[in-house]
């Protein structure tokens, strides 16, 4: 069973706690211990104050240190000043980086960007056209934002991270309404009943393993899947097969 | 002997390893699917959890007595699988004494569960609970969050003969305040029950405090037992420390043979 972590960051960020790892070699060491073959990685500095362009440059350099174990996922951000870094430019950059997944990292506050379609719609369409899985953390957005994104871009392969164990109230209706919406386990989508409950309602293809490294450790989430009373094929899909399939289909 | 991490890697029940869940519940969380008690016990069996110390989810809504009744019912329905916490509240000080007497007259109630919502733990309203705990040698499981112990340290300092477990120790990565209190007060224990798993934090707690002062809990049926047990089994600490965390320390506090 090849475990692929779809939710992993590398590199520094500004408010790091001393307990947390950040160097690529530290992350690789943890991946070895937890049996994670490959990780789809974002640049942690991209998540700090919406520093997407510089974070992407640093990410490409750091990801190279991991050989084929780090799969870089560039962070997309609107650019009010025009080229470079239009949607077409990002597509070119994704191709150059060998990136088959991307992140959107909206930030709260007026000096950053939200998920307003008039601002990021072009980027979302580019991802839809390229069948590029797009990761988005729900921390800075609302369930209604997710609904509007999926409604306006129905082909977008959106993967939500940061879903909590108590979010099924709004998550299940969104999953029923939007077939291309998917859920990452990290950091804490761990409702009682776990994958067994989820699979009673949705196909295993909609659930993906992602740890939240370097902030969060993968062990509990791996056990959460391995102890689930579901077929081995579904465990394999959740722990890595689903993300691999999505990336194979991506054509940035 | 199989290394404990290999149980988790392969999804095998800890059939030959004693496991006591020190922080679980019974009943339904308001925002989640119903989790029947039978399903909860099935999951304990699938993981190899021998027994769990539980309090009632209904207490979260203010229904303390009914929540405690659900605990008593679970103990009766599944002999040997559950121990009870009697949940009392400083918001209802007049109920504390009678409810503790009522619960501890029933079988297998071993501890006291408290929340700090609306009333700090160092409020005089909680004093009857701490005095009862001292008289009965009953440990206290106290809800805390993100490093704010809301007076638990003061209560523990005033009652050194009472053992206090700080639920959700390290939540929000606020591990320093938990460690500071536990290192200062030998009657304060860390409960690792928490929906997330901050990298290196369990290892840091064990290194600084030792496994004799640490317990684990699943928080079931709020969330996944396997995630909570898995993070202990996967921790990069010796197996002997894991065994203490998943059983021995809690067994000693709760008086479990």
User: What residues in A contact B207, CB-CB < 8 Å?
Assistant: none
Beta-bridge partners for A137: A161
Report the distance separating Cα A46 and Cα A52, nearest Å. 5
Structure tokens at B18: 């004693």
Q: Residue A50 above 70 pLDDT?
A: no
pTM score of the predicted model: 0.96
Q: Which domain CATH number covers A178?
A: 3.20.20.140
Q: What pLDDT band is residue A49 in, cutting at 50, 70 and 90? A: low
User: Quick check: A43 and A59 in contact, CB under 8 A?
Assistant: yes
Bridge-partner residues for B142, per DSSP? B114, B166
Domain housing B119: 4-254
Q: What mean pLDDT is predicted for residues A70-90?
A: 88
- Give the pLDDT score at B225: 96
CATH code assigned at B233: 3.20.20.140
Question: Using the beta-carbon criterion (under 8 Å), do B236 and A33 form an inter-chain contact?
Answer: yes
DSSP string, chain A: --EEEEEEEES--TT--TTS--SHHHHHHHHHHHTEEEEEEEEGGGGSTT-HHHHHHHHHHHHHTTGGGEEE-EEE---TT-SSSSHHHHHHHHHHHT---EEE---SSTTS----HHHHHHHHHHHHHTT--EEEEGGGS-HHHHHHHHHH-TT--EEEESB-TT-HHHHHHHHHH-TTEEEE-TBT--BTTHHHHHHHHS-GGGEE----BTTB-SHHHHHHHHTSSS-HHHHHIIIIIHHHHHHHH---
pLDDT at A153: 98
Instruction: Show the tokens assigned to B199.
Output: 């990298």
Q: Are A242 and A236 in contact (CB under 8 A)?
A: no
- The answer to whether the complex's ipTM is over 0.85 is yes
**A120-169 pLDDT, tens per residue?**
999 999 999 999 999 999 998 999 999 999 999 999 999 999 999 999 99
Domain count along chain A: 1
pLDDT number for residue A133: 98
CB contact under 8 A, A188 and B32: no
Determine the structural domain holding residue A201 and report its residue range.
Answer: 3-249
Chain B positions in Cβ-Cβ contact with residue A19 (cut-off 8 Å): 173, 175, 198-201, 204
Contacts of B233 in chain A (CB under 8 A): 219, 223
Task: Report residue B129 as tokens.
Answer: 């609970």
Is B111 part of the contact surface with chain A (CB cutoff 8 Å)? no
Question: Which residue of chain A has the CA closest to B201?
Answer: A19
Query: Would you state the pLDDT for residue A80?
Result: 81
Q: What is the 3-state secondary structure (H, E, C) of B21-70?
A: EEEEEECCCCCCCCCCHHHHHHHHHHHCCCEEEEEEHHHHHCCHHHHHHH
pLDDT band at A176 (very low <50, low <70, confident <90, very high): very high
For chain B, what is the mean pLDDT? 96
The total domain count for chain B is 1
pLDDT in tens, A178-202: 999 999 999 999 999 899 999 999 9
pLDDT per 10-residue tile (average), chain B, 257 residues: 96 96 90 85 97 94 94 98 97 97 97 94 98 98 96 98 98 97 98 96 98 97 94 98 98 95
**Which of residues B174 and A80 earns the better pLDDT score?**
B174
Phi, psi of A183 (to 5 degrees): -125, 135
Point out the residue among A194, A215, A226 whose CB comes nearest to the CB of B199: A215
| Contact state of A221 with B227 under an 8 Å Cβ cutoff | yes
Contacts of B47 in chain A (CB under 8 A): 227
Lowest mean pLDDT among A53-57, A78-82, A90-94, B230-234: A78-82
Distance from the Cα of B159 to chain A's closest Cα (Å) equals 32
């Amino acid at each position: 069973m090849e475990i692929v972590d779809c939710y992993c960051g590398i590199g520094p960020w500004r408010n790091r706690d001393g307990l947390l790892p950040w160097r690529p070699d530290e992350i690789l060491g943890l991946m070895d211990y937890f049996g994670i073959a490959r990780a789809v990685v974002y640049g942690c500095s991209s998540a700090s104050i919406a520093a997407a362009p510089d974070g992407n440059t640093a990410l490409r350099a750091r990801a190279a240190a991991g050989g084929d174990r780090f799969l870089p996922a560039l962070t997309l951000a609107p650019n009010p000043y025009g080229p470079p870094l239009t949607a077409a430019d990002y597509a070119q950059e994704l191709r150059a980086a060998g990136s088959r997944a991307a992140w959107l990292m909206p930030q709260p506050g007026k000096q950053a960007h939200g998920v307003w379609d008039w601002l990021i719609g072009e980027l979302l369409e580019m991802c839809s056209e390229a069948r590029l899985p797009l990761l988005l953390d729900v921390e800075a957005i609302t369930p209604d934002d997710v609904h509007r994104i999926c409604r306006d871009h129905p082909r977008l392969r959106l993967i939500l991270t940061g879903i909590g164990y108590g979010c099924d109230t709004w998550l299940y209706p969104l999953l029923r309404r939007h077939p291309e919406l998917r859920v990452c386990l990290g950091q804490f989508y761990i409702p009682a009943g776990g994958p067994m409950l989820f699979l009673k309602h949705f196909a295993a293809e909609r659930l993906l393993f992602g740890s939240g490294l370097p902030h969060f450790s993968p062990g509990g989430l791996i056990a959460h899947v391995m102890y689930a009373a579901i077929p081995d094929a579904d465990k394999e899909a959740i722990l890595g097969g689903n993300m691999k399939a999505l990336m194979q289909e991506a054509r940035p | 002997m199989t290394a404990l991490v290999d149980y988790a890697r392969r999804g095998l029940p800890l059939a030959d390893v004693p496991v006591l869940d020190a922080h679980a519940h019974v009943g339904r969380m308001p925002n989640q699917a119903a989790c029947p008690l039978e399903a909860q016990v099935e999951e304990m069996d699938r993981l190899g959890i021998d027994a769990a110390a539980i309090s009632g989810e209904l207490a979260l809504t203010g229904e303390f007595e009914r929540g405690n009744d659900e605990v008593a019912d679970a103990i009766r329905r599944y002999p040997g699988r559950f121990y009870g916490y009697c949940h009392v509240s400083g918001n209802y000080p007049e109920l504390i004494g009678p409810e503790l007497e009522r619960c501890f007259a029933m079988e297998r109630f071993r501890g006291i569960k408290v929340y700090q919502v609306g009333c700090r733990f160092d409020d005089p309203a909680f004093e009857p609970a701490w005095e009862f705990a001292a008289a009965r040698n009953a440990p206290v499981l106290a809800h805390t969050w993100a490093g704010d112990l809301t007076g638990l340290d003061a209560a523990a300092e005033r009652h050194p003969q009472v053992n206090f477990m700080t639920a959700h120790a390290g939540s929000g990565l606020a591990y320093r305040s938990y460690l500071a209190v536990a290192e200062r007060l030998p009657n304060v224990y860390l409960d690792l029950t928490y929906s997330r798993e901050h990298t290196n934090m369990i290892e840091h707690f064990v290194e600084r405090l030792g496994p004799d002062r640490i317990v684990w809990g699943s928080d079931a049926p709020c969330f996944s037992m396997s995630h909570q047990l898995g993070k202990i089994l996967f921790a990069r600490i010796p197996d002997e420390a894991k065994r203490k965390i998943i059983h021995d320390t809690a067994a000693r506090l709760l008086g479990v043979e």
